[in-house]
Structure 1
Amino acid sequence: MTPLISLKSIRKTFTSGEVPVHALKDVSLDIEAGDFVAIIGQSGSGKSTLMTILGCLDRPTSGQYLLDGEDVSDFSPDELAERRRRMFGFVFQSYNLVPTASAEENVEIPAIYAGLPAEARRERAGALLERLGLGDRLDHLPNQLSGGQQQRVSIARALMNGGQIILADEPTGALDSRSGRDVLATLRQMHAEGHTVIIITHAPELAESADRVIEIRDGQIVADRRLRPLPRANPKGPEAIGAEAASAVVADVFEAVRMSMRALRANLFRTVLTLLGIVIGVSSVVAMLAIGNGAQQSVLSRIAAMGSDLLIVRPNMANFRGGDGGSIVSLVPSDADAILELPNVAFAVPEMSSTLTVRAGNRDTQTTVNGTVPQFPAAKSWEVGAGSFLNTEDMTSYAPVAVIGQTVADTLFPDGGTALGQYILIKNIPFQVIGVMAKKGATAGGQDQDDTVLVPLSTGNLRLFGARNVRSITVQVKDDSAINVTQDQIQALLDDRHKRQDTQITNMAAIRETFTETSNVLKIFLGSIAAISLVVGGIGVMNIMLVSVTERTREIGIRMATGARARDILTQFIVEALVVSALGGLIGIALGLSIGGVAQLFGVPVSFAPGPVILAFGSAFLTGLVFGYLPARNASRLQPAVALASV
């Protein structure tokens, strides 16, 4: 029969500085299926090195290793992991249990990488622990178990995938005599059930309990004695479970997330510090962009309320050189009439304003008195809330009538009475209130637009302002796509009428476009600041993950010994980084929305949109993926034997 294990001229050399250390020297050995072998030797004899090679945890420097007739010397790391998962079960002197996992979860680990469904894993793990007398310890952590109980958990884990070959490294070395006898009895029972058992020990009394004793000294086999005959049936032991699912690309993602959460809970304070960078970055993105969007929409809505198809004509005082100190008249009402004759002009509304004191009864207020024309509401997109607006007859008859803003109405008539029909005094001249404008709100600069009184321009110039000119002319165009052409025509008309360029025109559409561009740049700037926070948070994730890999090197070795492939370890640590980032992203989104909500309570314009939230969370997730990859790759490249030997 083909031996289950066959070593031919195996050598293993380590380098300590510049000095080569020959751990194994030309070792040849055959082990049959169903045998019970003890490999005995003193410390430094090479027995542990031999065990790591037998268990496919390390590769020989030279020689041939045939496992069930297959040469594993040139197997890929994933192929070696598949053999460990399918054929081997390890029992270590120091138990090598994952400290943050319960007894049941420790036993389940090999089956995770074998692709066994979660329910089947739990059922089998529970049955194995029950069989070994630990049925009431399923949810206990390793530090809640005695040494003997921990070793029995280790044995159950070795049997989880079938454990055709049980490799036990000093299985009783850390136990008291009674626990040692119990463990040895368990190993004998496993052998009787068909498992091939290989014990590595330095204790002669333990070796004598085996059927075959191989003595190793200075890296060479010096004795090979058979104490009891090999069972005739040569049983190969139980079949590996989950073999049909062993080709799964990665372990169950849910299990990876669950293991990640357990690892993060084990270092809660460090996890919180790691989350902090991500939380700050994500909340900054959400809050800053929400406030930025709110401010932009607020200003744009006010510009839109003023009308994006408007041109505002004003005197250009910078071009005046009046040396006598007198007032220079630039715009006059007739300029508005001339502008109205141009094509593409819908309205031309001249205005003159001044800050005056207005009184009603025993109340007074200082407000802006604006002389205007009947087209004012249409040009300004401002409706009359109550009553009526000025008409053409009011203009021609110099009527002493007024339309007031909501703020003036609330100030002068606060008792809930109507202002319509009441008289107000402006410069001690009575004006009858014929209308109240609808509430308009504040401008982008914070000026209250409702704090105004509107009177006929003719009446205002004659009786209030003492002037025949106007301060501005608001022009509304019919086709805003031709607004720039109309602007040039108006400028040319006024230059010709005044024989000089003494006016300037403000294009509201250009202001809207300029503001939009500026606010977009500002949002990019704010987003960049928040992105820097995310990068800082990502660096924190990477640093913590690197520390985690260092601290959990032995755990990585345990997982590899139980069949985890490099990509399983890579997936595990990437998922862990993603869990941190995703959790930080969710907390950051909640915090950012809360900050925006608080800002709204203080009157700050805020506009929440799904885009920035998705962007922030996606950036956090991508940060975890990018910055978690390097630590995960380092973890996946560890050699199982080296990882298990770490302190």
Structure 2
Amino acid sequence: MAKQEQQTNEPMIRIRGLTKSYQTGPINTQVLHGIDLDIDAGDFVAIVGSSGSGKSTLMNILGCLDKPTSGEYYFQGQKVAEMDTDELAKLRRSAFGFVFQQYNLLGGATALANAELPAGYTSMPSDERHARAEQLLTRLGLEERMHHKPSELSGGQQQRVSIARALMNGGEIILADEPTGALDSQSGKEVMALLQDLSKQGHTVILITHDHEVAAHADRVIELKDGHILSDTRNRDVRAHVAPAKGPGSGQPSPLMDAGRSVITALTALRQNIFRTALTLLGIVIGVAAVISMLAIGQGARQDVVDRISAMGSNLLTVFPGAPNQRGRWSVATLVPEDVDAINELPNILAAVPELTGNRTLRRSGFDKEAQVNATYHKFPLARQWDVEYGSFFTQEDEDLYATVAVIGKTVATQLFPDRDPLGEVMLINNVLFRVIGVMSERGASPWGQDQDDVVFVPYSTGSLRLFGQRFLRNVTVAVESSDPIMMQNANDEVHRLLLERHGVEDFQIRNMASIIETATETQNTMTLLLGVIAVISLVVGGIGVMNIMLVSVTERTREIGIRMAVGARAAQIRMQFLVEAVTVALLGGLIGVSLGLGITWVISTFGSSVVFAAGPVIMAFGCAFLTGLIFGYIPARKAAQLDPVQALASE
């Protein structure tokens, strides 16, 4: 019984030894000095003092907007310092209602929307929320003005809206900071009458003012000076406390309800800044549309290339040893380097190179692997259109000097030199020491599944003498200057005539079909790389645009964030609101970009260009848009959620 009586007599608010200091560089300014204060339920307390006395700081601490430097604060017997940020938000949402001097209403929202704002962070359904807000505004004489925005209301009407907002979730404790400071005398009297009426209804009212005449309306006046309590006087006897009417509660909304409300808030905010939103969307729209259209056009172009190559052949001719239809041509020794030199003298020949190939063992510092070795000429990259990624290919001088230099494929570089740059390194090929001077660009698998990058190129003179021990060739690759069918046939005839004159008999074969699939694959890889670059550019450009606009939005809406925190929004709800805005921008841009990309592709197809429509590119582009909003929107959202409520409210 004694314990129950003690809990009953516990003051609603009890603070002991409360101090508050602000650090500005090396200067420490103490605003509150050891404040001791008890406030009972139902009290109408005026905290009065001149500017700089610490009264607003005290109110922010009492309302859980700020934290003391030291001392203890108990609310209904619970130590506030032990509450986490979500518990403090719940306390502001369910127990406190704030009435600010500057009203702190959302400029783009109606009086009705401002009044119901605190309930938006509870589990109250929207229809109940609207009904309660209308009831409160009607009770305060604003039934004809509830659909007007703050700019369309007088100061007294705006302050009434802020009072309705304070009562939305019950408003057990009303914290009024200079509520009449920005009002004319008549409006000030009306607001004070409302506060007195709320006190009579059982609400605990804490009034912050510098005006002693305003403070005289309260039952109890506490005067602060230089952070100390100068006096604590009761103007009237303590009345029996009448519990105020219960509010609608402050249950936690479900994640789905939070997300739905965040989407509505995001769309409202984006609509209020429609021009800026359009500019933000532009980067994503262009990127997504470019990806879709380029994929469709690129795949169509690739198909055209494949069809064209299949129809007219390649610009490569391959000469094999052995008579037509002869088996075992790899063992036939009919082609020699002098044949290659003669072919290079023919007109319309871009390059002709020998290829003497075979598998050999490679060794380097404990690493051992088998790879294909190709002894060829220095014109091999030109003939096969295969570039050196870094380093260089060997030269004519290397061939003349029988140099032991090698250019390796990507697979060899990765497997033989996994821990270092291969350029300048040495390796053994069949116990012959070679120095690596270049690494070929990646080719990937051939049409028949062979890894084309698992290869080593050496000068023909060196390879034939020291690795293969033979001069005759496995094949000769001839690149013709043009893939035009007539030019290809002329080149084929000229090579055939030349070799027939040199050999006297037809102990060779010429084929021009070997590189059809290879050329198509190369085209596909090139287009894939191009489209990949476009996708990356669209992601980066769109993401930077979204992040920049959201950072600007957070800066511009700092006070709004402070208002939302003051009425009980949790950090997660603030974070979700801004993250949903970023994702909404990205998704809207993605939808518009998809539509635009498909439209552009269709228009191009009407001009006779070949395009390929597929679901994959659309899904990929839209997914990129979503990830853009999610990734690049998180940083501004987190920044908004980490704002200090007091500093946010003080922002202009």
In structure 2, what is the equivalent of residue 206 of structure 1? Answer: 214
2:273 is the alignment partner of 1:267: yes
The letter of the residue matching 1:22 is Q
**Alpha-carbon distance between aligned partners in 1 of 2:123 and 2:310, rounded to the nearest angstrom:** 62
- Are residues 201 and 301 of structure 1, via their aligned partners in 2, closer, same or farther at CA, if it must alter by over 3 Å? same
* Equivalent residue number for residue 299 of structure 2: 293
Among 11, 22, 28, the alignment partner of 2:30 is: 22
Deviation, 1:107, is 1.4
Question: Aligned to 1:140, which of 144, 148, 167?
Answer: 148
1:517 Cα offset (Å) = 4.2
Larger mean CA deviation between 113-122 and 511-520 belongs to 511-520
Structure 1 residue 64: Cα displacement: 0.6
Q: C-alpha deviations, 1:137-162, integer Å up to 9, x for none?
A: 22211111111111111111101111
Q: How far apart, in 2, do the equivalents of 1:312 and 1:170 lie? A: 93
Tell me, what secondary structure is at the counterpart of 2:81?
coil
Give the 5 Å matches for 1:24-423: 24-232=32-240, 234-243=241-250, 245-246=251-252, 248-249=254-255, 252-300=258-306
1:603 aligns with 2:611: no
What's the CA shift for 1:229? 2.1
Distance in 1 (alpha carbons) for counterparts of 2:167 and 2:343: 104
Q: Structure 2: how far apart are the matches of 1:531 and 1:321? A: 48
The offset of 1:8, in angstroms, is 0.8
Give me the whole-angstrom Cα distance separating, in 1, the residues matched to 2:287 and 2:299.
18
Aligned to 2:398: none
CA distance in 1, matches of 2:643, 2:342: 84
Q: Deviations over 1:236-276 (max 9, x none)?
A: 42334233x32645862222112112222222222222111
Cα distance in 1 for residues equivalent to 2:182 and 2:308 = 79
User: C-alpha distance in 1, partners of 2:648/2:10?
Assistant: 32
Per-residue deviation, 1:512: 2.7
Q: TM-score w.r.t. structure 2 length?
A: 0.69
Partner of residue 614 from structure 1, selected from 619, 628, 631: 619
Partner SS for 1:73 = helix
**SS of the residue 1:11 aligns to:** strand
Alpha-carbon deviation of 1:497? 11
Query: In the alignment, residue 597 of structure 1 is paired with which amino acid?
Result: W
Task: Provide the rounded CA distance (Å) in 2 between the counterparts of 1:5 and 1:542.
Answer: 43
With over 3 angstroms needed to count, the CA separation of the structure-2 counterparts of 1:446 and 1:120, relative to structure 1, is farther
**Is the alpha carbon distance of 1:320 and 1:249 closer, same or farther for their aligned partners in structure 2, counting shifts above 3 Å?**
closer
CA distance in 1, matches of 2:132, 2:484: 75
CA distance in 2, matches of 1:498, 1:121: 99
Out of 516, 525, 546, the residue aligned to residue 551 of structure 2 is 546
Residue 593 (1) aligns with residue 598 (2)? yes
Partner of 1:342 in structure 2? Answer: none
1:482-535 Cα distance to aligned partner (Å, 9 max, x none): xxxxxxxxxxxxx9994433x421336x52354134313322322313421320
**Residue 571 of structure 2 aligns with which residue?**
566
Following TM superposition, by how much is the alpha carbon of 1:571 offset from its aligned partner in structure 2, in angstroms? 0.6
Which residue identity is paired with 2:41? A
3-state DSSP class of the match of 1:7? strand
Residue of structure 1 in register with 2:464 after alignment: none
What is the rounded CA distance, in whole Å, between the counterparts of 1:125 and 1:301 in structure 2? 69
Matched, 1:628 2:636: no
Residue 166 of structure 2 aligns to a residue whose secondary structure is helix
Whether the aligned pair in 1 keeps the contact of 2:175 and 2:207 (CA below 8 Å) is yes
Of the structure 1 ranges 175-184 and 555-564, higher mean CA displacement relative to structure 2 is found in: 175-184
Asked whether the 8 Å contact 1:251–1:568 carries over to 2, the reply is: no
Q: Structure 1: how far apart are the matches of 2:483 and 2:280? A: 42
- Which residue is 1:504 aligned to? 510
Taking the aligned partners of 2:537 and 2:343, their CA distance within structure 1 comes to 55
Larger radius of gyration: 1
2 CA distance for matches of 1:241 and 1:552? 28
Give CA deviations for 1:564-622 in whole Å, capped at 9, x if unaligned: 11111111111111111111111111111121112112222111211111111111111
Deviations 1:525-570 (CA, angstroms, capped at 9, x unpaired): 2231342132022112111111111111110000000001111111
Retained in 2: the 8 A contact 1:296–1:516? no
Distance in structure 1 (CA, Å) of the matches to 2:296 and 2:343: 50
For the residue of structure 1 that corresponds to 2:534, the secondary structure is: helix
Letter of the structure 1 residue corresponding to residue 244 of structure 2: G
TM-score w.r.t. length of structure 1: 0.70
**Contact 1:288 1:527 (C-alpha < 8 Å) held by counterparts:** no
Gaps of 5+ in 1: 326-444, 450-469, 473-494
Q: For residues 322 and 123 of structure 1, do their structure 2 counterparts lie closer, same or farther at Cα, with a shift above 3 Å needed? A: closer
Report deviation, 1:115.
2.1
Q: Distance in 1 between matches of 2:342 and 2:221?
A: 116
> Is the CA contact 2:313–2:512 (under 8 Å) kept in the aligned structure 1?
no
Measured after TM superposition, the shift of residue 319 of structure 1 is 6.0
Deviation, structure 1 residue 184: 1.3
Give per-residue Cα distances to partners, 1:417-473, cap 9 Å, x unaligned: xxxxxxxxxxxxxxxxxxxxxxxxxxxx99999xxxxxxxxxxxxxxxxxxxx979x
* Aligned mates of 1:238, 1:301 — CA distance in 2: 81
Task: Quote how far apart the aligned CAs of 1:297 are.
Answer: 2.9
Deviations 1:285-333 (A, max 9, x none): 111111111222334456678999xx999999x869699x9xxxxxxxx
For 1:322 and 1:278, locate their aligned partners in 2 and report how far apart those are by CA, in whole Å: 54
Say if 2:585 and 2:629, in contact at 8 Å, map to a contact too: yes
Q: 1:44 to 1:251 in 2, by over 3 A?
A: farther
Unaligned runs of 5+ in 2: 1-8, 325-334, 347-481, 487-491, 495-501
Letter in 2 for 1:108: E
Contact 2:313–2:483 at 8 Å: present in 1 too? no
**Post-superposition offset of 1:235:** 3.1
CA contact (8 A) 1:290 1:609 kept: yes
Q: Distance in 1 between matches of 2:312 and 2:263?
A: 55
SS in 2 for 1:507: coil
Contact 2:47 2:222 in 1 (8 A): yes
1:521 pairs with 2:526: yes
* 8 Å contact from structure 1 (residues 196, 236) kept in 2: no
Separation in structure 1 between the aligned mates of residue 483 and residue 631 of structure 2, nearest angstrom: 45
Closer, same or farther in 2 for the Cα pair 1:447/1:236, shift >3 Å? farther
Q: SS where residue 209 of structure 1 aligns?
A: coil
Deviations 1:320-362 (A, max 9, x none): 9699x9xxxxxxxxxxxxxxxxxxxxxxxxxxxxxxxxxxxxx
585 and 29 in structure 1: CA distance in 2 versus 1, 3 angstrom threshold: same
Compared with structure 1, are the counterparts of its residues 110 and 322 closer, same or farther at alpha carbon in structure 2 (3 Å cutoff)? closer
Q: Which letter maps to 1:238?
A: A
Q: Counterpart of 2:116 in 1: which secondary structure? A: helix
